[in-house]
Structure 1
Amino acid sequence: MHLTLVGGELIDGGVRRTGERLVLREGRIVAVGPDVPSCGVVVDVSDLLILPGFLDLHTHGGGGFALHTTEPEEILAYARWVTRTGTTAFLVNVVGVPDDLPERQLTAAALAITHPDRSGAEPLGIYLEGPFLNPARRGAHHASWLRSPDLSLAERLLAAARGHLRVVTLAPELPGALDILDRFIAAGVLVAIGHTEAPYEQARVAFAHGARLLTHCFNAMPPLLHRAPGPLGALVEQESAFGELIADGHHVLPVVMRVLVHALGPGRTVVITDAQPGAGLPPGTTFSFAGCLARVDPDVARLTDGTIAGSVLTMDQALRVLVESVGVPLEDAVLMLTTTPARAIGVDQRKGRLAPGYDADLVLLDRKLRVQATFCRGRVAFARNDWLGRVDDPVAAALEEAALRPDLECSSSEPEHDLGMRR
C-alpha cells in the first residue's frame, strides 16, 4: 500500500521545500514533488518538518542497551529504542576486550546486521574503535584492550566481522599501523584516524594512504596549534576526508564546534553522538561500558574515576544544540545528520535523502525540533501519543496497514484514507 505525506515542510539536501507530497511504498520513497498525486493512505502533516532519518555512525548504545555485546538481541533492542530519537540507521560500535580481540562481539554484531527483524533502525555495519590505539590517548578505553598493530590480528578481526566491518579507528603513528591501514582499505573498510598522538605530518601520510575520517574531532588527539596543526590541520586540508563531531556542547564547546563547521563545511562534518548505553537514562544511573563501570552525569558519561566515557547525547538533541547553541542553519544541521554521514560510509545512494528510490527513512519534527514520528524503511517505528491523538481516530490502524502491508497496489480504484490533522 502507498502512504502519502502532504503539507509538511521538507528539509533535505541542504534546502527547504514546501508544497510537496511525499509518497512511500514497499519501504521506498517512490515520488516527491508539488505535482505528485496523493495515493493510498494520506496523512496531513502540515504543521511538521519532514527530514531524512538520522544516521548515527558512532554510538555505543542508549536506553540501557549496549552495542558492544555478545548478544545480537541487545543490538536489535537498541535498534527499536533509538527510533524515538529520529535515528533510522546506525553503525554497531565495538571496542576492545581484556587481553584478547573482541571476536565474539564482532560476530554478535554481524548476526544482528543480518537478522530478519527489521522493526527498528537499520544496523548498516560495524564500527571498530580500536584495538590499535595510542595508549597516551586511549581516553575511556582500558589499557588491557589495546594491541600493537599486527597484520595477523587484522585478519582475525576481518574474519570475525564476516564482511560487515565498515569503519576502523587506529592511531597511524604506531609501528606497523600503515600496513594495517592499507589492509583494511583493501578490504573495503573506511579507516579513521583517532585516539592518536600523530603530528600533522604523520596524519597527512595516513590520509595519503587512504584514511578518510577523523574520529570525534578534538577529543583524544593533539590540539590544533599555530605551530603544530596536528590531525585537525591535516583533516582540513584533505578535502576528501570527513570529521566526526560529538555535538553535545560539552565534548567540544559551541564556539569550537562553530569553527570546525566553518572549516569543513556541512558536507564534511559528520555529527555523531558517541553515546553510551546510559543515554536516555536519568542522571546517576550506572551502566557498563565493555565491562567498565560508568555513570550518567547530567551532561556526559563518566567512568568511576571521573574520566569522560562518551556522551549521553541523542541525535535529536544534537540537532537542537547545533541550531540553538552553535547557530548552524537548520538546513546545514540536517545535512550533517543525514546526507553527510551517508556519503562518508558510502550508502548515499539509498540513505540520507528524501528522493525517489531512497529508503523510506523519515523523521517528523515539530517546530521545536522534537521528534513526533519516525519511519524506518516505510514502517512506523515510533510515534508520540500526543501526535497520534491529534489525528483522526483511524490513524493508528491505517498507518500500521501502510507500514506492514506493502503488497497492495495503488490504482485509481484504491480508496484513500484521509488522516488529516484535527484543527
Structure 2
Amino acid sequence: MRYTLAGALVIDNRQRRSECQVVIEGTRIEAIGHEVAPAGAVIDARDALVVPGFIDVHTHGGGGFALHTESPGEIEGYARWAPRSGTTAFLVAVVGVPGGLPEGQLRAAVEAIDRHRGGAQPVGIHLEGPYINPTRRGAHHLSWLRRPDVAELERILEVAGEWLRLVTLAPELPGADLLIRRLAETGVTVSIGHTDATYEQARQAIEAGIRHATHCFNAMPPLLHRAPGPLGAIIEVEDVTGELVGDCIHVLPPAMRALIRALGPDRTVVVTDSQPAAGQPEGATFSFGGLTAQVTGGVARLSDGTIAGSVVTMDQALRNLVEQVGIALEDAVAMLTANPARVAGVASRKGHLRPGYDADLVILDRELRVHATICRGRVAFATGEWQRRLAGLLRDDAESGA
C-alpha cells in the first residue's frame, strides 16, 4: 500500500516543517519533505500536525488491560487500545511475584512480541524489579522483592532472550554492581530506580553501566544541597537519560521544568507509568500484581493510599508538557518519541519521521488531540472525520485481513 499525507505541518527532530508530503510505502516511510512529489493515494493533511508515533518505555497498561500478566492476549488487547492515545510502540512492563521470579510474565511478553500483528508494537520488556530497595518500593509489594543474584539474572536473560531492553534496579543493594555490568554488556539499558542510593553510590553505578533513571523524583531520595542523591548524579552525566511521569501529579510542573532544564530536551524521557485504569472512568478499580487499586480524583492509589502508577495517556502527557509545564512543542515531541526510542534500543527505525524508518506517526489537530494513529503504515485508530479521509486505507486493510 502506497499513500501520501499531503501538506502537513511536520514536527520532528525538534524542528517544524510546513507543507510537507509524507509518502508511505508498506510499513516504511518512503520520502518526506515539502518538495517531495505525492505518490499513491493522496490524503489532504493541510490542517493537521504530523509527529512521530509516541513510544512509552514505562507503562503497566491501559484501557482495562494489564501488561504484567501471564496472558499474551491481554498484552495484545493493550496494543490494540494504545493507538487511540498516539502510542505506536511500547515496552511490556514486568513486575515481581511473591517469592520467585516473574517467569510467567516474561514468557507472556515474549510470546506477545513474537506474534504481534497490529496496533502499537511491543518492542521489548521493561523489568521493574525485583531487585529494588524495600525502603523505596512504592506500590511494589515486599514479597516481590529479591536480593541481586547473578544466577537469577542469567535465568531472566534466558527466558526473555533478546527482548529484555530495560531493567530498573537499586544499585546500592549488595551484588547489584555485578548485575549492572552483566546487563550493560548484553546491551540492556540499566536504570536506577526505587533506590535509596546516595550521590556517591549513584555515581559508582553510572560508572558500572547505569544509563537511565526511572521516574525521576519518585521512589528515590530528593536533591538536597548537602545530599545531592541520585538526581545530582543523573544530572551531571551527559549520557544518562531520565524519566518524568507526564501526569503533573507524580511531579508538579515547577519541578518538571527544573529537571527538564537540568537534563535538557535531549535527555528527558516522558512516560505514563500508566495502569490498566488509564482511559477508564473515575472510580475504576484494577489489580497491580494482585493488589487492588482505585482511581479517585484522577489518581490511582492502593487501599493504603500509596500512589500506584498513573492514569495519564501519552497524548495527555504531551498536552500537559505544553500547556502546564510550558515546554516548546518541538521539545515536548522529542521527549515522547526520539528520546524513548534510544532507551528502548529502537532508535535506528523508530522515533523520527525519516526515509526508511517505520511508518509510525500521529495526526494531531492544533489543540494536540489525536485524530489518527498509523502503526507501521496501517491505520490503527482514527476519529470520524479521519476515518472518512482514510477510508480507502481502512478498506484495503480490511480486505487484506489486517
Mark yes or no: TM-score above 0.5: yes
TM-superposed deviation, 1:319: 0.2
Aligned 1:107-146 pairs, distance under 5 A = 107-115=107-115, 117-146=116-145
SS at match of 1:212: strand
TM-score, normalisation: structure 1? 0.93
Instruction: Output the amino acid matched with 1:382.
Output: F
SS at match of 1:133: coil
In structure 1, what is the Cα distance between the partners aligned to 2:28 and 2:399?
Answer: 13
> Which residue of structure 2 aligns with residue 421 of structure 1?
none
Tell me if the contact between 2:19 and 2:46 (Cα under 8 Å) persists in the aligned partners. Answer: no
Counterpart AA for 2:361: L
Per-residue CA deviations over 1:37-59 (Å, capped at 9, x if unaligned) read 11111000111100000000000
CA offsets per residue over residues 358-399 of structure 1, 9 Å max, x none? Answer: 00000000111000000000000000114335x4xxx41344
Aligned-CA RMSD value: 1.4
Gaps (5+ residues) in structure 1? 407-423
CA contact (8 A) 1:190 1:212 kept: yes
Specify the alignment match of 1:401 in structure 2: 396
The percentage of counterpart residues that share the same residue type is 61
How many Å separate the matches in 2 of 1:90 and 1:39? 30
Q: CA deviation at 1:299?
A: 2.3
The structural deviation recorded for 1:25 is 0.5
- C-alpha separation between the residues in 2 aligned to 1:317 and 1:10? 19
1:303-356 deviation digits (Å, cap 9, x = unpaired): 111100000010000000000000000000001000111122331110011110
1:20 is matched with 20
Q: Does 1:321 align with 2:320?
A: yes
Partner of 1:11: 11
Give the whole-Å Cα distance in 1 for the aligned partners of 2:181 and 2:271. 25
CA contact (8 A) 2:50 2:361 kept: yes
Alignment of 1:194-273 (within 5 A): 194-273=193-272
* Structure 1 segment 4-403 matched on structure 2, within 5 A: 4-115=4-115, 117-389=116-388, 391=389, 395-401=390-396
Distance 2:127 2:85 in 1: 23
CA offset digits 1:84-130 (Å, max 9, x no partner): 00000000000000111100100100011101x32100101000001
Q: 1:41·1:402 contact (CA, 8 Å) conserved in 2? A: no
* Structure 1 Cα separation of the partners of residues 152 and 272 of structure 2: 28
Q: Offset of 1:148 from its aligned partner? A: 0.6
Comparing 157-166 with 309-318, greater Cα deviation is found at: 157-166
- Give yes or no for contact 1:192–1:214 (8 Å, CA) kept in 2: yes
Structure 2 unpaired stretches of 5+: none
CA distance in 1, matches of 2:151, 2:343: 27
Q: Is this contact kept in 1: 2:91–2:344, CA < 8 A?
A: no
Greater alpha carbon shift after TM alignment, 339-348 vs 237-246 = 339-348
Q: In the alignment, residue 368 of structure 1 is paired with which amino acid?
A: E
Instruction: Tell me how far apart the structure 2 counterparts of residues 94 and 67 of structure 1 sit (CA, whole Å).
Output: 7
Distance (Å, rounded) in 1 between the aligned partners of 2:149 and 2:286 = 32
Q: Is the 8 A contact 1:107 1:162 kept in 2?
A: no
Q: 1:404 to 1:335 in 2, by over 3 A?
A: farther
Residue type at the aligned position of 1:364: I
SS of equivalent residue, structure 2 residue 363: strand
Q: Which amino acid aligns with 1:221?
A: M
> What is the CA-CA distance between 1:182 and the residue it aligns to?
1.1
CA deviation digits over 1:221-251, x for unaligned, max 9? 0000011110000001110110000011000
The 1:161/1:92 distance shift into structure 2, 3 A limit, reads same
CA distance in 1, matches of 2:343, 2:157: 20
Give the drift of 1:70: 0.4
Partner residue, 1:413: none
Query: Aligned partners of 1:382, 1:226: CA distance in 2, in Å?
Result: 48
CA contact (8 A) 1:222 1:231 kept: yes
Cα contact 2:198–2:227 (8 A) shared by 1: yes
**Aligned residue in 2 for 1:418:** none
The 3-state SS of whatever aligns with 2:154 is helix
Task: Supply the distance in 2 between the matched residues of 1:18 and 1:370 (Cα, whole angstroms).
Answer: 19
Quote the Cα distance in structure 2 between the aligned partners of 1:97 and 1:265: 36
Partner Cα separation in structure 1 for residue 371 and residue 67 of structure 2: 25
Equivalent pair of 1:274/1:310 in contact (CA under 8 Å): yes
Once residues 307 and 399 of structure 2 are traced to their aligned partners in structure 1, the CA distance between those partners, rounded to angstroms, is 42
Aligned length: 401
Decide whether the 8 Å contact of 1:3 with 1:402 is kept in 2.
no
Amino acid at match of 2:98: P
The CA distance in 2 between the partners of 1:193 and 1:335, in whole Å, is: 22
